[in-house]
Structures are given as structure tokens and as C-alpha cells.
Amino acid sequence: MATVAEKVEQYSAKCAELGMNIWGGLLARAAKACGPSLFNADAETVAASDVTELETVRDNFVMGKLGLEDAEEAMTIVNTVAEEMKDFGSNKYRAVFYARCAELAGKVDMLPEVG
């Protein structure tokens, strides 16, 4: 089984390949926020074509963990990230998705510290 560090390396490599510049430390913090879902093939990714899944990301992560209160603003962030990650194909890694949502929301400090 892969480790969290190996998953973060995988995500960093994919981001670099597709020209998405996300700091590795931020990816590590987002991976920690994802918890065990990193090791479940289905839960590791976000199905950006599924409106219900995007609403769940909005409700549970952007509003729940990051603390945004405006549902419309939160959904705009989620949709923006989904669009930015369209080149990831079906592998829109949750940790990358969450990291980018935190960046756009200006809430990186809400992600758990690693260490």
C-alpha cells in the first residue's frame, strides 16, 4: 500500500505534468484533510461531472471544513476548480481538488498542519 507521502508525490507529478502549480506542502495538508479516502480508488477522486458530488464537496469541504458561509460563492469555487482540472481526465484527485479550493477561498490556513 502506498504512503501519504507517495500519494502526494503522485499528485505533485500530475500537477506538474498538466501545468498546475500547487505547492507540495499544500498538497500534503490537503491529503491529510482527505484522510483514508486517499487509499480508496473511488473516494480518492472527485467525479466533476456529477452535480451531486460537487455539491457534496461544496457542503462538506468548502463550507464545512474551510468555513465559507455563502453557498453560491462556495459552488463557484468548486465549479472553477472542476474546470481548471478538466485536463486531469477522470482522475481529479481529491487532495488536489481540495488544495485548489482552499487556495481560491483564501483558506489554506484551515487545512491541517502536517508533521
The verdict on residue 115 lying in a domain is: no
Residues 6+ apart with CB under 8 A from 86: 48
Confidence of residue 56 (pLDDT cuts 50, 70, 90): very high
pTM of the model: 0.95
In a domain, 26, yes or no: yes
The number of C-alpha atoms within 13 Å of 47 and in the hemisphere containing its C-beta is: 9
Domain hosting residue 46, numbered range: 4-110
93 in a domain, yes or no? yes
* Count of domains for the chain: 1
Q: Residue 59: its pLDDT value, please?
A: 98
Q: What is the CATH number of the domain that holds 44?
A: 1.10.238.120
Identify whether 71 is part of a domain.
yes
Share of the chain above pLDDT 70, in %: 99
Average pLDDT over residues 101-114: 95
Rounded to whole angstroms, how far apart are CA atoms 33 and 27? 10
Position 114 scores a pLDDT of 86
Show the cell assigned to 20. 498546475
Dump pLDDT digits (tens) for 63-106.
999 999 999 999 999 999 999 999 998 779 999 999 999 999 99
In a domain, 27, yes or no: yes
